């Protein structure tokens, strides 16, 4: 058993959070999950203690930090749908920025020394080259990206004024599910392309929408850097090891450094499914970048992180297997 003190994971009953919690628990960490279950699911918490509560509730957060003697926090709780943030910006500033402020205030009071933050490539907006390194200027184009960037700034400034050290992980397009089928993405009406396409393949949706076929990309559809959720979970563990080893605060992209277009993703789903899926084409949406790919050199160099699932067919196969199990579960 790991001799370190427990780790608090906020949002640990959600999609990415449940994979991070499971990965850390499997390697012997003591894990406490704080989740209000608004989008997470209690059954997704495996090998960890679940505390049901809101990150925005200061009394709850202070109590959890105190009672469990927490000195390391992995913060994944928050809202994640960019188009929704445009329609309801204050919900995102409340659920992401204000809740993070509350959490950081409690961490400062409790003497938490290490903090891993779930951020997003949305902080980059639409870089002209389509490739973003950690040094690319941040220019979010929606409240979701802005709310994440503001949280990064608070973390940076608190670190400068205290002994807190942090790792900010900027996710690109997270996809797939636990390769052993133990947890996955349970959110209904999800907007992530691979999940939605797999829902079509399993009869849970009638068709998949493709927004934009006239981008300046090889096949006219948007290109994104898809990272398997298992590799992302290991990145959190590697970041934790880096901070425990005395590493300085750092910002890291989480991606593979190469992209797949919407059409390429859908062909991968059809290969895994063994049949075509219905597709409906729509005009491009305002604010959709033609291409957004990570320059992922820094995370490999600094953490020694090496992906194990860098294959679109593997990513899709794990996602489809999970959707089939969900469809069977729901009857």
Beta carbons of 178 and 184 less than 8 angstroms apart:
yes
Q: Which residues pair with 118 in a beta bridge?
A: 169
**Complete edge-to-edge strand list for the sheet that includes strand 291-294:** 131-132, 291-294, 223-224, 260-261
Distance CA 261, CA 188 (A): 24
Homologous superfamily of the 193-224+257-330 domain (CATH): UDP-galactose 4-epimerase, domain 1 (3.90.25.10)
Beta strands in the chain (DSSP E): 7-10, 31-35, 49-52, 72-75, 114-120, 131-132, 165-171, 173-175, 208-211, 223-224, 226-228, 250-254, 260-261, 279-282, 291-294
Instruction: Report the catalytic residues.
Output: 144
User: Residue 52's pLDDT is what?
Assistant: 98
What are the backbone dihedrals phi and psi of residue 25, each rounded to the nearest 5 degrees, phi first? Answer: -65, -40
Averaged pLDDT in 10-residue chunks for the chain of 331 residues: 82 98 97 96 97 97 98 96 92 97 98 98 96 98 96 98 97 97 90 96 96 96 98 98 98 98 98 98 89 98 97 98 91 69
Does domain 7-175+227-254 bear CATH number 3.40.50.720? yes
User: Residue 216's pLDDT is what?
Assistant: 94
> Which stretches of 68-180 are DSSP H helices?
82-87, 89-92, 99-110, 143-160
Q: How many helices (H) and strands (E) does the chain have?
A: 11, 15
What are the backbone dihedrals phi and psi of residue 292, each rounded to the nearest 5 degrees, phi first? Answer: -145, 110
Nearest to 259 by CA among 302, 215, 202: 215
User: Residue 2's pLDDT is what?
Assistant: 53
User: Residue 1's pLDDT is what?
Assistant: 40
| Domain ranges across the chain | 7-175+227-254, 193-224+257-330
What global pTM score does this model have? Answer: 0.96
Distance CA 291, CA 284 (A): 13
């Amino acid at each position: 058993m790991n001799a370190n003190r427990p780790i608090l994971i906020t949002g640990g009953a959600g999609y990415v959070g449940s994979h991070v919690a499971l990965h850390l628990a499997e390697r012997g960490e003591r894990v406490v999950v704080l989740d209000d279950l608004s989008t997470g699911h209690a059954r997704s918490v495996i090998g960890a203690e679940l505390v049901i509560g809101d990150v925005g509730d200061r009394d709850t957060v202070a109590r959890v930090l105190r009672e469990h003697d927490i000195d390391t926090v992995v913060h994944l709780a928050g809202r994640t749908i960019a188009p929704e943030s445009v329609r309801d910006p204050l919900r995102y500033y409340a659920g992401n920025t204000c809740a993070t402020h509350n959490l950081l205030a409690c961490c400062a009071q409790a003497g938490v020394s290490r903090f891993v933050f779930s951020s997003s490539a949305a902080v980059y907006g639409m870089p002209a080259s389509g490739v973003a390194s950690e040094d690319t200027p941040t220019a979010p184009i929606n409240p979701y990206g802005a709310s994440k960037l503001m949280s990064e700034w608070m973390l940076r400034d608190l670190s400068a004024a205290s002994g807190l050290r942090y790792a900010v992980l900027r996710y690109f397009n997270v996809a797939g599910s636990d390769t052993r089928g133990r947890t996955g993405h349970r959110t209904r009406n999800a907007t992530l392309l691979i999940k939605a396409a797999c829902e079509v393949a399993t009869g849970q949706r009638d068709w998949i929408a493709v927004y934009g076929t006239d981008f300046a990309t090889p096949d006219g559809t948007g290109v994104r850097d898809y990272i398997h959720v298992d590799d992302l979970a290991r990145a959190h563990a590697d970041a934790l090891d880096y901070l425990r080893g005395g590493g300085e605060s750092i910002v890291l992209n989480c991606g593979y450094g190469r992209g797949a277009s919407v059409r390429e993703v859908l062909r991968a789903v059809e290969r895994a499914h063994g049949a075509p899926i219905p597709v409906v084409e729509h005009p491009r949406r305002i604010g959709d970048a033609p291409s957004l790919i990570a320059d992922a050199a820094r995370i490999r160099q600094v953490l020694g992180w090496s992906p194990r699932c860098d294959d679109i067919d593997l990513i899709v196969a794990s996602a489809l297997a999970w959707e089939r199990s969900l469809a069977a579960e729901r009857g």
